Structure 1
Amino acid sequence: MTAPTGLGTSRAAAPDLLRSVFRQHAAGVAVITAPGARPAGFTATSLTSVAAEPPLVSFGISTGASSWPAVSEAGHIGVHILGEHQQELAATFARSGADRFAAPTSWRSGPYGVPVLDGVLAWLVCEVVARVPAGDHRIVLGRVVEGDPAVHPGPAGQSRPLLYHQGRFNALRD
């Protein structure tokens, strides 16, 4: 079957096609954390609100990610919504081989021993209810058990979310 004319140049489905298309999709930026002998965490743009009753969220994680062993074992995980002033924090948790919980990252042990990052716009602690295979990733479903929805503004009282678009972190424009 050929593509209808007038739609531009189409490409066969492949990982690079998916990445190219999703570079056009702006996504909110979150950091997911998991407890353990060494806490683990990573930057995620795949966070999704799944259901309100019961309150469920989901995110994807590669089984090759350095955080996967901790997330695969964790009974609870943390979800942190980042503000536009937290680009460096997002970059730290996205950087391979970084000591993500070393200074200047500010955090504390929260409910169920989950690492909770300070200064984020909002955070949740979720009980892991499923890890669903999805190619080279797992979709993790978490039931919200605690959190802080209060906005913790950044410099100059800003409380706007951090976004990821075109391969870089961005802020909303007025």
Structure 2
Amino acid sequence: MNKDLANVCQYLTQGVYVIAVKDQQREHAFTAAWVMQVSFNPPMLAFSINPQHYSYQILKAGGQCSINVLAKEQLPIATHFGDSNIRDKMTAYSWQLAPSGVPVLKVALAYFDCVVSHSMPAGDHEIMLCQVLDAKILHVGVPMQYADTGNMDGANDLYA
């Protein structure tokens, strides 16, 4: 693989998000950069998730999530939710409920309240296609871009 791939991927214009998931008993959240709009009618978003992560189990069981848009200056939040060694990530920040009942990060710029429509395997991840039930701007600001995170996710080591 091209040793520059990790650096070149930083040029993809993608934001940074905290995706909160819930089922009947559990709530969890993780940082994601691989999120995109895929349909106007119905409004749909897609994101990629590692099936080995704890959040994946909850998402598959509950079938709903919120996609929370982070601001450029919220790198500590992205780092916190990107750390897979923290089991109870939800207690470090304040949450409110979206209309569907899924948690929404109060300090996020905006959120999308979603229900999973279907999924498909994609290499070492799974792509989740979600219908947007509701969306709201919470704060005005500049969204964080993946390039703003440096090597927070360790991608440089994964492309070696």
Relative to the length of structure 2, the TM-score reads 0.83
How many matched pairs? 149
Alpha-carbon separation, structure 1, partners of 2:37 and 2:13: 16
For residues 19 and 71 of structure 1, what CA distance do their matches in structure 2 show?
28
Among residues 82, 90, 93, which one is paired with 2:70 in the alignment?
Answer: 82
Q: CA RMSD in A?
A: 2.1
Q: Which amino acid aligns with 1:120?
A: A
List structure 1 segments (4+ residues) > 3 angstroms apart after TM superposition.
Answer: 16-21
Counting only pairs closer than 5 Å after superposition, residues 64-79 of structure 1 correspond to structure 2 as 64-79=52-67
Q: Is the 2:79–2:152 Cα contact (8 Å) retained in structure 1? A: no
The answer to whether the 8 Å contact 1:23/1:167 transfers is: no
**Cα separation, 2, equivalents of 1:146 and 1:80:** 12
Q: Taking CA–CA contacts closer than 8 Å with sequence separation of 6 or more, which of the two structures ends up with the larger relative contact order?
A: 2
Please, which of 95, 110, 135 is the counterpart of residue 147 of structure 1?
135
Q: 1:96 deviation in Å?
A: 1.4
Aligned with 1:137 (options 122, 125, 128): 125
Identical amino acids, percent of aligned pairs: 32
Cα distance in 1, alignment partners of residues 27 and 75 from structure 2: 21
Whole-Å separation in 2 of the counterparts to 1:74 and 1:142: 13
For residue 12 of structure 2, what is the aligned residue in structure 1?
25
Gaps of 5+ in 2: 154-160
1:164 corresponding residue in structure 2: 146
Q: TM-score, normalised by structure 1?
A: 0.77
Q: 1:118-174: CA deviations, max 9, x gaps?
A: 0211101111101111122110000011121x2514xxxxx11111214259xxxxx
Higher Cα Rg: structure 1 or 2? 1
Q: Deviations over 1:56-91 (max 9, x none)?
A: 100000111221101122222111111113211111
Distance 2:75 2:145 in 1: 9
